[in-house]
Structure 1
């Protein structure tokens, strides 16, 4: 019988220790013990009794003033100070905070607040299998000092072999191997004594690796119309960029003969070849034996087989002056979270690149080469060198297979997965801005195959209301978001802008009340290439739904711009604007009279306060609320409307709305 829900949740307990037993406990660091603190969390679901965790936030200046242990200072604070001095240059004198995450029988994870140390963490752990210096400290697994060591390659081979032979890895074994998704070319890395060369792989079956990597801005070896015959004969090892050399070494070490590298296996100055092969990328990565992810490399000139920073020894003596083996090493917050079903979070420059997301999502097996350790993911499980135990953790490659498996019971599962992927994707960077839709087309292909829905430049016909209600969430680093200089997608698509976006995520109770109140009358997406889910040069849809006219007001506030809907008989409604907006005066082709409207601001437009008429289209109703789109007249297409943002309002404010047919472009 499962535990009651109340017992499955982490609970907080106040310390029951007597004053006498706590008098030697440091109020600042709690002796680096997760137990017995006011905010200690007891995880009641543990089979071996309560396992505790604790997060401490310590003022950096207060910690710095701690006396040395031989001067009567806290020896546990001294452990933190030694780790901070070794890995966080400049932390002394910093007015920020030090975060200390403690977990019973685990390592101690330390971070420092500040942009200079963003994402940087240090793990403190017992360095010996003998008795730990205090009962709650865990023993750290050995991580080799070079990512090209025999130990690391053996770890990689074990992970792959376990995936291939484990009967529970059903999703990994059923990955699609369709011939129309196989690569046209492969790089034959042969044996050390044989030439490296491009081969024709079309229509044939090969066991191959794939490389996921950052191109960077520097020169990189590519295949072109003029050199592909030469590369088909012989590519000297020394002619390969350092990262490609490492990829060849890894491929050979794993017992493979072939590897697919996009810059070499696609003719880069052939539009037709690029469109054909890039449209197959999802299948190419899914069908590969292993994806080598150069996660920690910023470009082809940096290696992924490299030395790692050596752990440091930390001096520690207990009250009897016995010395213990205590270590500290650089780490990242990369482990999966089973409770929140969050997959592993590999850290490195590659994780900021848009193309790499679908390579990560669609690969069957991945080796992530980070600066600190090797991580392995497949469609079923996760392992890393610091946590090598085989467990069924949530993984990114498992996202779509799990959604497909749930689809029969929950028809929202795949669309929810798509929206979560789009949220992640829009935070990433593209070198070629017109790749916005092609770089996600492999994932779109999987969703289309499973649902049968029509694809509307980033939206799905069978999930239209929810997909239309995306919201722009510009970051502070993004500055003022404006419309692109060149057309890339219709305004109703998130692909029309360069901004992170988010969707409304209802819980199960809220989902039951979410109802679309629009009807799609027609839609048309004009493709500009061979990829049916790729680049578009035009798009439109006609929807019927409740509409009401309003005035949009723009005012500066706290250094930003605020946009508010003014509707007769209702209070002012603040909208979520897609980007900066400006008033626009245009001539109606029928009457030739000057008409006021609002449009997205372009680069060079001067922002100013304004009041101008707009149209509000209600899209969905849920729990007494309406959500919809704020629209301005299109200057490009006569009689059409372009999206400006979204709104949410109580239904009483839209009592006078009228059904209209609205053309969105």
Structure 2
């Protein structure tokens, strides 16, 4: 819709006194989103227009600009003042500065560079006075202490609204007969009563759960030798700071019980750990609320912290009148409604693998971040920096929404699983063997819905698509095969590297066809969790195969791998990790060599060696498949090396084969 003339920026006539007063700074454009060559006008009606502008400046230019007292730009002075307060040593760097300006909104400032990754500063007008210039807006008040009455009242309102709203049907508790109950809870009682570990004896309780980083330091845990003492009395002062805060929050919410994994599971009892960890997904889902200690690096770190206060910037307009402008640290955690992306609470906990499952499966979550409190449930999202109550996408709603869409097709469930795995693969584990157990709660949810068999991180009902994951390497990283077996090579769980799945568009999805048949599968478990740790697994498949040569090359210290097939051009593959040539001790190939995943101690070298290409799926006019090397683990079997995508050319000579993947 064209911008009405009344809303278009007015041209300034040369020589006017207003132009003299409003001379635009070439660097910051007076922090005005209007009238710039890059201004974007958003019209929602013929009467209202909102303008936004993104400026990309450089630290050198800003650091050299004169301050207002020296006759410089007073708007640049505001930027510099805010950056001096929140970006330490920025003046000595040479980086890009991004300034996002929105009419009647606050101004967001960020600096490129690893040192300031994810850090933003928000500049806004004080709510008690008139804005110093027309386009600058005010910001919602955030209490300066996470343990303030205002913050606790915000938490109570969010939970109450979720529990009482008729729209929050997804947040209603499951039937009591199907509820998963924790074996133990921490009874935090009242302030004067003892804190102790209790056995629930199968009875239902209303309880809070804690999601936290264990860290690398000592953690208070329940063991075979001390749990009876913990069941008698735990002095409040003997608890780590984070656990103390969690108890304070639980009491403030009017509850008596909390579940903390390190205390409610006997950590040196394999049987107890396996029995309770299997139930962990249900324990979080059925809790009253999950306390997500997002900014706490370990249990010694408080989550009820004093937040950094906003700074005051004095701004003087052309008539000499002073205004109070404020700036504060800002976290870009808000959901992206247009992209359907949920909120992005940031902190050490967001890097931990176990915490993703706790986040996805919880019904309600309170995220204690460094800057504010965020609330999510299976229906809505709210935060202290915004008064909005709109329905936003949330992480706890991911699985319920996929289940709701299932009806005639289970594709939405498979998409949700793959999205979770992509996020999960980016996260870290303290115990590497927890790779499959730490996502087994989500897998159990998918299994209940899909009724499909689970094969070490893949689903029988979506096997072709699940097999075609790709490792997401960056130029600065080199992934290797694990020294100790954790999962079959066809599973993403066999590596410590982020992975991704191909996301077909609507037309491609309609033409997707699996070209393989699953003849049989086997999984050997090492514990009680049927979706957990495996000691071996295999797939027996039938599909179109052909032999090819895999060539390695190195460019700028980065190894690349290319498949050579007769009748077609060279095909660059997406390798799972660094690859190496190795001896082939079977008779399946005429040469004595094959290719395998390289371990950290493996010397790297150039090679040109036979491999097997298996076509797994077809998208209209092209194939996608796996590159395989002879297994050194199982005689007559193959191991995955990477994935490829190619046109039909050269694949008319494939031969149907039965192969075993391990």
Bigger shift: residues 147-156 or 405-414:
405-414
CA distance in 1, matches of 2:176, 2:304: 30
CA distance in 2, matches of 1:455, 1:590: 30
Cα 1:314–1:545 change in 2 (3 A) is same
Q: Is residue 626 of structure 1 aligned with residue 623 of structure 2?
A: yes
Local SS of the residue matching 1:55: strand
CA distance in 2, matches of 1:322, 1:192: 52
- Residues 254-284 of structure 1: CA distance to partner in whole angstroms, max 9, x if unpaired? 0000000000000001111111111111110
CA distance in 2, matches of 1:630, 1:644: 5
Cα 1:643–1:350 change in 2 (3 A) is same
Q: 1:174: Cα distance to partner?
A: 4.5
Bigger shift: residues 24-33 or 183-192:
24-33
Q: 1:290: Cα distance to partner?
A: 0.6
Local SS of the residue matching 2:92: coil
| Cross-structure match for 1:359 | 358
Local SS of the residue matching 1:345: coil
| Cross-structure match for 1:287 | 286
| Cross-structure match for 1:314 | 313
Q: 1:176: Cα distance to partner?
A: 6.4
Which segments of structure 1 move beyond 6 Å, counting only runs of 4 or more?
A: 13-16
Matches within 5 A, 1:57-136: 57-136=56-135
Matches within 5 A, 1:259-278: 259-278=258-277
| Cross-structure match for 1:493 | 491
| Cross-structure match for 2:643 | 646
Aligned match for 1:570, one of 568, 571, 574: 568
How does the TM-score come out when normalised to structure 1? Answer: 0.95
Matches within 5 A, 1:480-629: 480-588=478-586, 595-629=592-626
Matches within 5 A, 1:128-167: 128-167=127-166
Bigger shift: residues 98-107 or 187-196:
98-107
| Cross-structure match for 2:416 | 417
CA distance in 2, matches of 1:311, 1:369: 18
CA distance in 1, matches of 2:305, 2:250: 16
Q: 1:112: Cα distance to partner?
A: 1.0
Whether the aligned pair in 2 keeps the contact of 1:14 and 1:39 (CA below 8 Å) is no
Whether the aligned pair in 2 keeps the contact of 1:375 and 1:383 (CA below 8 Å) is yes
Q: 1:590: Cα distance to partner?
A: 8.8
Segments of 5+ residues of structure 1 without an aligned counterpart are: 1-6
Segments of 5+ residues of structure 2 without an aligned counterpart are: none
| Cross-structure match for 1:445 | 444
CA distance in 1, matches of 2:107, 2:201: 51
- Residues 483-514 of structure 1: CA distance to partner in whole angstroms, max 9, x if unpaired? 11111111000000000000001121221111
CA RMSD of aligned residues (A): 1.9
CA distance in 1, matches of 2:354, 2:27: 45
| Cross-structure match for 1:34 | 33
CA distance in 2, matches of 1:60, 1:108: 17
Local SS of the residue matching 1:82: helix
CA distance in 1, matches of 2:310, 2:606: 57
Cα 1:284–1:657 change in 2 (3 A) is same
Q: 1:349: Cα distance to partner?
A: 0.2
Q: Is residue 346 of structure 1 aligned with residue 345 of structure 2?
A: yes
Cα 1:472–1:120 change in 2 (3 A) is same
Q: 1:177: Cα distance to partner?
A: 5.3
Bigger shift: residues 121-130 or 565-574:
121-130
| Cross-structure match for 2:407 | 408
| Cross-structure match for 1:383 | 382
Q: 1:413: Cα distance to partner?
A: 0.7
Q: How many residues align?
A: 653
Local SS of the residue matching 1:388: coil
Aligned match for 2:633, one of 633, 636, 648: 636
Cα 1:178–1:469 change in 2 (3 A) is farther
Q: 1:14: Cα distance to partner?
A: 10
Whether the aligned pair in 2 keeps the contact of 1:314 and 1:326 (CA below 8 Å) is yes
| Cross-structure match for 1:472 | 471
Local SS of the residue matching 2:167: coil
CA distance in 1, matches of 2:11, 2:38: 14
- Residues 180-225 of structure 1: CA distance to partner in whole angstroms, max 9, x if unpaired? 5211100000011111011111421110000000000111110011
Q: 1:45: Cα distance to partner?
A: 4.1
Cα 1:342–1:47 change in 2 (3 A) is farther
CA distance in 2, matches of 1:115, 1:177: 49
| Cross-structure match for 2:331 | 332
Local SS of the residue matching 1:391: coil
CA distance in 2, matches of 1:160, 1:19: 56
Whether the aligned pair in 2 keeps the contact of 1:15 and 1:38 (CA below 8 Å) is no
CA distance in 2, matches of 1:17, 1:482: 61
Whether the aligned pair in 1 keeps the contact of 2:179 and 2:286 (CA below 8 Å) is no
